[in-house]
Structure formats: C-alpha cells, structure tokens
C-alpha cells in the first residue's frame, strides 16, 4: 500500500516560490495564417484551480510544462506562448511568459514576477536534458530548475510515469506535494486496485490486444468479469476458433488470449458490424460472431453484444472502461461504443471510471455527458501503468 501523498493544500506557500509541473499538452492546429490555435483547452482549464489557490495564498508560481515532442532543441511550432495567453485569460490575471526554460529570459522572468503572480517557463522539452536517460544530465538540469523555487508541486498526472527531470529529479531536490489533479487520479486508481466494491466489471476495447496485455493480466485476478470489444475482441474470438475474416488479428497473441479465456471471466461479443473495408461508406451488416464472411472486417460490436454487455454491467459497483467498442470515429460504427458508454453512465451508485484518450474523446464526441461518470482519467498511459501495478517514478518520488 503506497504512502499517503502530501497535497499542495498542506504546504505553507505564503511568500514562497512554488515550481508547479502542469499538464498543458493540448492539441493545436494551424490557423492557416501561420499561427497555432488551441483546439481543446481542457487541460489548461483543469490546471487553473491550483494556480488560483497558490497565488491567492501568496505564492509566486513558476509553471513548468511540456508540449509535444520537440526533436532537437527549441521549435517555435511547439512554443508554450499561445498556451500562456489562454492561461492568462482563464486565470483572469497577467501571466509572464519566459522565452526559454532555464536561460537568461527565464531567470529574468522569474525575478520580475510579483510574489502572488504566475510565470510560465518555455516548453521544458526544449532542453534535451529533460528526457535524458543519463541521471547526471537530468540532475544538472533539475538543479537549475530547483534554483528558481522553494517548493515543488506536481499536478501533471499524465506525466507521472516518466522519469523526466521536471517530474522526478526536481521533486528529489525540493520539498514537494501533489496537486489536486494528481491527488484525484491516484485516489480513483487506488479504489480500482485496492479492495474495489463488487461486482467489479472492466470493459476493454480499442485497437490492439498487445497494447493492453499487461493491464488484462493485472486486472483479471481482481475483477468479476472483463468485457472485451473493439479491435482486440477478434484475437479472442479467433482463439475460440471463430473465423474473423479480415478483422484486426494478432496471431502471436492467440495463446495468451486462450489462457485469459480459461479464467472464465471474459465476456465476448456475440455479433459484430462487418464491413467490406475500413471505411464509412462501404456495405456493412450485423452478423453473428460465428459467421463473419471471410472478406469482411468487424468494425464495431453489434446490438446483441451491447445487450449482453449491458446485462453483465447490471448491479456493478465498480467499473473501469478503457477503449472504444468500435471505430466510433466513423458514424456507422459508433453504436457499440455509444451503447456501452450509456450502460456504464446509467449505473446507479457505482464508481465508474473512464480511462484512455480515445475513450474520453468518444464520451465527448457521442455526447454521453462527462458528468455521468465518476471520473474521466486525463492520463491514459499513466493510468494504465498504475493499473498494471508498475511503480510510477513521479508518484514514488512524491511519496518519499
Ligand atoms: P484509448 O485511447 O481509449 O486507450 P485505444 O487507443 O486503445 O483507446 O484505441 C482506440 C482506437 O481503437 C480508436 O481509434 C478506434 O477507431 C479503434 N478501434 C476500435 N474498434 C476497432 C476495430 N474493430 N477495428 C479497428 N480499430 C478499432
Ligand atoms: Mg488511444
């Protein structure tokens, strides 16, 4: 059982300089005129409460964040400047934007920032030491970052599985605490792994079995049933001896799937939407899983499967759902995901957690209503690694 995390609320921040690692990695698109436009500012909005709280309590807040994966050094297309502007609007107070991470501009910007205001450093990955595998290199960078501040708060759950300087090494160098986003994620993930209320049902989908093998392995002993849809159900169906046509199939995972099926906990679709090819505008029909035509591919679970999954969810007290049931991005293959999302959202008196970037996007795109779930996890990779039982460096360091 992991130690309790100290939270930002417990820190005495008055008159202190607080380095805050945020997750501001939002999607951007070109506006056609050479500028970059934020297409979904959810992560910026989510970061506002902590920044407001810290400044209101008299702290100088130095925000650290990454954007994308800069290849080598500063890349103007991945500058945090447009994000700083949005942050300023959302906070309703000026945000100073530094032009580098630990250089002259950053030092001056931190210096010039008033004691109860916010300064945003440039994309932390502009410095290649941030992601270096070399401890000494990362450490030297972390020393420079730590020199800006008295305290460190991590509110970037999506990055806690990375052993990066701004997530791990800097926390070793300063008194530290978890921000509210990290604390909330950890609280929910604990409830999924430590003594979950039963029945406990997990719904998995998405494209590949191989992506989710470890999480299946870790969760199977804990759950009462595991419902499998999405592209990964076809490897399970093939393992049972079904012909899956041209559906996604990972032949090297058949034995693993057989072993999973032997637990008796796995529930598979009974019908699928089979299409001529991976496209919206091609002939497609609902067929039973026992009679998928050899020239067709399954792109969604069918209505009978939705009913089977809904029945399996009745009375569940804990539900974790990761991975769409079909290619929900194309309208003809969205109904399976919609049906299962509705079934989970309609449960009374249950802990319902959605994990995964595409699953969260499906909840929004299909208008299911985000507030009908207990929690929608923001950090896809980090949540899965937590559920796999891996030690996450960014959390381990906060617990110490
Ligand atoms: P998440 O991001 O929620 O963890 P994944 O990344 O594992 O989910 O998988 C999402 C993708 O899986 C979606 O883009 C969806 O189109 C795809 N997918 C779902 N069902 C199928 C299928 N039957 N065949 C091919 N791709 C599928
Ligand atoms: Mg995904």
> Ligand 1: distance of its center to the CA of 334 in Å?
11
Spatial contact of 276 and 284, defined as CB atoms under 8 Å apart: yes
DSSP secondary structure code for residue 329 in this structure: T
Pairing of strands 297-301, 271-275: antiparallel
Q: Are residues 160 and 269 in the same domain?
A: no
Q: How far apart are CA 52 and CA 34, in angstroms?
A: 32
Q: Is the CB of 381 under 6 A from ligand 1?
A: no
Mutate to test the pocket of ligand 1, among 158, 204, 207 (most ligand atoms within 8 A of CB): 207
**Catalytic member of 208, 265, 304, 310:** 208
2 in any annotated domain: no
Helix (H) or strand (E) holding 108: helix 104-112
Q: Are residues 48 and 169 in the same domain?
A: yes
357 is a catalytic site residue:
yes
Which segments of the chain are extended strands (E)? Answer: 17-21, 28-30, 36-38, 60-64, 95-97, 118-120, 151-154, 176-178, 200-204, 225-228, 266-267, 271-275, 284-288, 297-301, 318-322, 351-355, 375-376
Residue nearest (by alpha carbon) to ligand 1 atom 24:
231
316 in any annotated domain: yes
Q: Is the CB of 70 under 6 A from ligand 1?
A: no
Q: Is the CB of 207 under 6 A from ligand 1?
A: yes
Q: Are residues 150 and 234 in the same domain?
A: no
> Ligand 2: distance of its center to the CA of 245 in Å?
24
Nearest atom, ligand 1, residue 380 CA: 4
Q: Is the CB of 158 under 6 A from ligand 1?
A: no
Longest CA span, the chain: 70
Task: Tell me which residue range forms the domain holding 176.
Answer: 8-180
Spatial contact of 16 and 59, defined as CB atoms under 8 Å apart: yes
> Ligand 1: distance of its center to the CA of 205 in Å?
7
Residue nearest (by alpha carbon) to ligand 1 atom 25:
231
Q: Is the CB of 327 under 6 A from ligand 1?
A: yes
Q: Are residues 168 and 294 in the same domain?
A: no
Spatial contact of 10 and 176, defined as CB atoms under 8 Å apart: no
Q: Are residues 280 and 304 in the same domain?
A: yes
DSSP secondary structure code for residue 146 in this structure: H
C-alpha 45: how far from chain center: 16
Q: Which ligand is nearest to the CA of 212?
A: 1
> Ligand 2: distance of its center to the CA of 377 in Å?
13
393 in any annotated domain: no
129 in any annotated domain: yes
Q: Which ligand is nearest to the CA of 380?
A: 1
290 in any annotated domain: yes
400 in any annotated domain: no
- 392 contacts: CB under 8 Å, gap ≥ 6: 160, 161, 382, 385, 386
84 is a catalytic site residue:
no
396 in any annotated domain: no
Tally of domains within the chain: 2
Q: How far apart are CA 81 and CA 98, in angstroms?
A: 8
357 in any annotated domain: yes
Low-confidence ranges of the chain (pLDDT < 50): 1
Q: Are residues 176 and 194 in the same domain?
A: no
First to last CA, the chain: 14
**How many CB atoms within 10 Å of residue 292?**
22
The pLDDT score that the predictor gives to residue 330 is: 97
> Ligand 1: distance of its center to the CA of 329 in Å?
9
Nearest atom, ligand 1, residue 357 CA: 2
Q: Are residues 50 and 155 in the same domain?
A: yes
Boundary (domain end) residue, out of 148, 180, 212: 180
The pLDDT score that the predictor gives to residue 357 is: 82
Mutate to test the pocket of ligand 1, among 277, 323, 383 (most ligand atoms within 8 A of CB): 323
The pLDDT score that the predictor gives to residue 2 is: 53
Closest CA to 207 of 294, 323, 297, 320: 323
206 is a catalytic site residue:
no
How far CA 55 is from CA of 20, 50, 116, 214, in Å, comes to: 12, 9, 5, 41
The pLDDT score that the predictor gives to residue 13 is: 98
Boundary (domain end) residue, out of 180, 211, 241: 180
381 is a catalytic site residue:
yes
Q: Are residues 79 and 121 in the same domain?
A: yes
The pLDDT score that the predictor gives to residue 4 is: 79
Q: What is the CATH number of the domain that holds 141?
A: 3.40.50.1260
Burial environment of residue 131 by CB neighbours within 10 A (0 to 12, 13 to 18, 19 or more): buried
Q: How far apart are CA 386 and CA 261, in angstroms?
A: 24
Three-state secondary structure of 359-391? HHHHHHHCCCCHHHCCEECCCHHHHHHHHCCCC
Q: Are residues 124 and 265 in the same domain?
A: no
Nearest atom, ligand 1, residue 272 CA: 23
Q: Are residues 201 and 118 in the same domain?
A: no
Q: How far apart are CA 62 and CA 84, in angstroms?
A: 12
Q: How far apart are CA 226 and CA 204, in angstroms?
A: 7
Q: Is the CB of 324 under 6 A from ligand 1?
A: yes
Q: How far apart are CA 110 and CA 380, in angstroms?
A: 32
Q: Are residues 21 and 166 in the same domain?
A: yes
Boundary (domain end) residue, out of 126, 155, 180: 180
Q: Are residues 275 and 321 in the same domain?
A: yes
């Amino acid at each position: 059982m992991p130690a309790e995390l100290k939270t930002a609320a417990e820190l005495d921040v008055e008159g202190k300089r607080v380095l805050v690692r945020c997750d501001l990695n939002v999607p951007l698109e070109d506006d056609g005129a050479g500028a970059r436009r934020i297409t979904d500012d959810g992560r910026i909005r989510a970061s506002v409460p902590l920044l407001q709280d810290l400044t209101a309590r008299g702290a100088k807040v130095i925000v650290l964040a990454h954007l994308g994966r800069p290849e080598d050094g500063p890349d103007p297309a991945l500058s945090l400047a447009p994000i700083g502007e949005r942050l300023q609007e959302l906070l309703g107070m000026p945000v100073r934007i530094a032009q580098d991470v630990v250089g002259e501009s950053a030092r001056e910007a931190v210096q010039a920032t008033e004691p109860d205001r916010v300064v945003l450093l440039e994309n932390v990955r502009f410095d290649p030491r941030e992601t270096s595998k070399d401890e000494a290199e990362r450490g030297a960078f972390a020393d420079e970052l730590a020199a800006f501040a008295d305290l460190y708060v991590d509110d970037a759950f999506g990055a806690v599985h990375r052993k990066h300087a701004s997530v791990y090494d800097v926390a070793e160098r300063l008194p530290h605490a978890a921000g509210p986003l990290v604390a909330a994620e950890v609280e929910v993930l604990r409830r999924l792994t430590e003594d979950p209320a039963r029945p406990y049902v997990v719904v998995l989908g998405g494209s590949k079995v191989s992506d989710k093998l470890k999480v299946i392995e870790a969760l199977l002993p804990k759950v009462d049933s595991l419902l499998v849809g999405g592209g990964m159900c076809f490897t399970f169906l093939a393992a049972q001896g079904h012909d899956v046509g041209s559906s996604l199939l990972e032949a090297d995972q058949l034995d693993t799937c057989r072993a999973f099926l032997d637990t008796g906990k796995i529930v598979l679709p009974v019908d699928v939407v089979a299409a001529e090819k991976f496209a919206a505008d091609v002939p497609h029909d609902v067929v039973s899983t026992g009679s998928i035509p050899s020239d067709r591919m399954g792109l969604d679970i069918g209505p009978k499967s939705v009913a089977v999954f809904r029945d399996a969810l009745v009375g569940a007290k804990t539900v974790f759902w990761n991975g769409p049931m079909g290619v929900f991005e194309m309208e003809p293959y969205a109904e399976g995901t919609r049906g299962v999302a509705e079934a989970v959202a309609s449960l009374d008196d249950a802990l319902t957690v959605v994990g995964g970037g595409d699953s969260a996007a499906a909840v929004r795109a299909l208008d299911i209503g985000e507030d009908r779930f207990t929690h929608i996890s923001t950090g896809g990779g980090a949540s899965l690694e937590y559920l796999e039982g891996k030690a996450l460096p960014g959390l381990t360091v906060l617990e110490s």
